[in-house]
Amino acid sequence: MEINMNEIKGYLRDFRIDVPEVIYTCRGLKIFGRRIKSIVFSTDVSIIRNCNADAVIAVYPFTPQPVITQAVMMAADCPVFVGVGGGLTKGERVINLARHAEYQGATGVVLNAPTSNDSIREVSRVIDLPIVITVVKEDDIGARLEAGAQILNVSAAARTPELVAKIREQFPDVPIMATGGPTEETIRATINAGADAITWTPPTNGEVFRDIMEAYRKGEPHP
């Protein structure tokens, strides 16, 4: 049953990026007492600050740097899952980055798919945060969980719903966040496959600005 809620709006802050409503049909993950359904995938602080997602997943293609984590943490007014390596960045550095992320106030740490189970085990030994392991293909999920991973981040492009369904069949109770894809239909398919929460890629700063500038060029007001 849909519940009507009173909504408070402002003149300036009403312009924001909203996650697709379909995401809120998923079950959600409850982490430290907070329910999370929508997770925005971005490190752009202006997007993060003006998006209504329940949480942020801050991963990027470079070696993780605490100064970037700090910038995201300062901008976000919601929980942040911080990437600490596992692909390009390995070994002791991953452990130190995970420890530092906890000190900075992260809600969880994200390890990329190539991370070894030994690294997962070492990270779980030194932090008291959920460890999110990225899954991109069929893998030994049981070994990942045994090593200390607590949440699966399924990111298999167009195969994400299929992979989520396979994992859910084998591990009915494991927490799963997964990429929802570009449309309402792909998001719904991922949720129906068994994802608890959806990671969503917002439009870029440039894409948002493009629409605004196009309106200005036509003599129209701010969209």
**Do the beta carbons of residue 52 and residue 66 sit within 8 Å?**
no
The answer to whether residue 120 sits within a structural domain is yes
Domain that holds residue 144: 25-217
The Cα–Cα gap between 25 and 27 comes to 7
Length of the chain: 223
The answer to whether residue 17 sits within a structural domain is no
Count structural domains, the chain. 1
Question: Per residue in 49-85, pLDDT tens?
Answer: 999 999 999 999 999 999 999 999 999 999 999 999 9
The answer to whether residue 9 sits within a structural domain is no
The Cα–Cα gap between 107 and 114 comes to 22
Question: Per residue in 107-147, pLDDT tens?
Answer: 999 999 999 999 999 999 999 999 999 999 998 999 999 99
- How many C-beta neighbours within 10 Å does residue 46 have? 12
Question: Per residue in 5-19, pLDDT tens?
Answer: 788 877 777 889 999
The answer to whether residue 5 sits within a structural domain is no
The answer to whether residue 16 sits within a structural domain is no
- The residues pairing with 59 across neighbouring beta strands, listed in sequence order, are none
The answer to whether residue 58 sits within a structural domain is yes
The band of 1, judged by pLDDT with boundaries at 50, 70 and 90, is very low
The answer to whether residue 189 sits within a structural domain is yes
Q: What is the pTM of this model?
A: 0.93
The CATH number covering residue 110 comes to: 3.20.20.60
